[in-house]
Amino acid sequence: MSTQTPARPKPARLSPADVIRTGGSGLRSRPMRVFLSALGIAIGIAAMIGVVGISTSSTEQLNRKLAALGTNLLTAAPGQSFSGNAAHLPDEAVDMVKAIDAVTSVSAIGKTDAKVYRNDHIPQAETGGIAVYAARTDLPKTVGVELAVGRWLNAATARYPAVVLGSTAAERLGVYEAGPDVQVWLGDRWFTVVGVLAANELAPELDSAALIGWPAAEKELDFDGYATTIYTRADEESVADVQEVLGATINPQNPNEVDVSRPSDALAAKQATDDALSGLLLGLGAVALLVGGVGVANTMVISVLERRAEIGLRRSLGATRGQIRTQFLCESLLLSALGGLGGVALGIAVTAGYASYQGWPTVVPPWAMAGGVGATLVIGGLAGFYPAVRAARLPPTEALAAT
């Protein structure tokens, strides 16, 4: 009669739900330590989400501004001649630009030597940095400026002592309304304020300017009639082509004496500078996330040391090394996931608060949120791997002897 060796019993397999439940029970037994470790992870993720969200919200705000203001505005100004002296634009420059097929509108301003003051008792040296320009009546159509108060110059007021103030100029002069009774001292006489402009990002030089009609400037201020800035709107698809020929069109004999620029490029350059700063802040967020990962690793190592008796008991009851390893690795991942989800929520809240304060739309890219949670799981897996392996290698007798 043959005797068969009884088959070695196979350990029961833990279902995913059992693994999560077992890992969660380990976290619930140490709530304060878990909270502090998860907070470290959350701070790093919140920093990264906040930086990405604020940068994206700022970019979205810029895109909306450019969509409203238009990216098809070009400006031309006199540069310097070969002799090093200041050049000037030809008298017929505006008419020549109008002849370009892709150009939709043209206007110009010319800087004068006059100064403007709140009244005639202000010392001449206290100009407040306000420049006085002669302006064409079609300037708002081309540049896209809007009136905050009053109205723009027309064919009648452009011939008389009437002035429109930029937003910054009006603030410096203490003028917040327009009308027949509102006057400023400009040149050597009183000018009536007929309007105040709203701020304009594409033409910031107009914000700190006092604008009077071209005929009035020639009559009252001895203006020489030369334009110092020509504003040109072109078809969206032809802006680059117009930009290339604008200098030669304005001054065919000396195109190098004309400086042509695209204001929207300046705004985009500013955004690029902001993006560089955002990259630095992202690096700091990554450092904070790494510190949080070290905190998770520390928590799991201490957990293994404190729970040696539990590990020994589970091993003596049939738990395999793989199950012990899976349990502690699951705890580490759950701990990191808690920090990651909390960090994403905190980052979104920070972005929404700052964007609301700035008047921006709140935009948090989905990839940033998914990446934040994914990064925490990677950090949690790396941080929990060694403690999990160490727990699995504890001999049951040695673990039980620690009680």
Same domain for 196 and 227, yes or no, is yes
Same domain for 122 and 85, yes or no, is yes
Same domain for 126 and 238, yes or no, is yes
Same domain for 251 and 317, yes or no, is no
Q: Is residue 344 part of a domain?
A: yes
Same domain for 350 and 371, yes or no, is yes
Same domain for 42 and 82, yes or no, is no
Q: Is the pLDDT of residue 90 over 90?
A: no
Give the residue from 96, 47, 51, 106 showing the smallest Cα distance to 74.
Answer: 106
Q: Is residue 144 part of a domain?
A: yes
* pLDDT tens digits, 225-268: 899 999 988 887 887 888 888 888 888 888 888 888 876 665 55
Q: Is residue 226 part of a domain?
A: yes
> In the predicted model, what is the mean pLDDT of residues 141-149?
90
What is the count of structural domains for the chain? 2
* pLDDT tens digits, 209-226: 999 999 999 999 989 889
Same domain for 242 and 356, yes or no, is no
Choosing from 234, 261, 288, the residue where a domain stops is 261
What range defines the domain where residue 364 resides? 16-66+268-401
Tell whether pTM > 0.85.
no
Residue 112: band (very low, low, confident or very high) from pLDDT cuts 50, 70, 90: very high
* pLDDT tens digits, 5-19: 565 556 556 677 767
Q: Is residue 10 part of a domain?
A: no
Same domain for 30 and 164, yes or no, is no
Please, are residues 177 and 99 in contact by the beta-carbon 8 Å criterion? no
Choosing from 261, 278, 309, the residue where a domain stops is 261
Q: Is the pLDDT of residue 369 over 90?
A: no
Same domain for 60 and 163, yes or no, is no
Same domain for 62 and 77, yes or no, is no
Choosing from 229, 261, 293, the residue where a domain stops is 261
Same domain for 326 and 234, yes or no, is no
Q: Is residue 179 part of a domain?
A: yes
Q: Is residue 321 part of a domain?
A: yes
The pLDDT value given to residue 66: 67
Residue 353: band (very low, low, confident or very high) from pLDDT cuts 50, 70, 90: very high
Q: Return mean pLDDT, the chain.
A: 82
Query: Ranked by mean pLDDT, which of 200-209, 214-223, 285-294 comes out on top?
Result: 214-223
Q: Over pLDDT 70: what percentage of the chain?
A: 83
Same domain for 193 and 313, yes or no, is no
> In the predicted model, what is the mean pLDDT of residues 325-334?
82
Q: Is residue 98 part of a domain?
A: yes
Q: Is residue 78 part of a domain?
A: yes
Q: Which range, of 80-94, 170-184, 192-206, 336-350, averages the lowest pLDDT?
A: 80-94
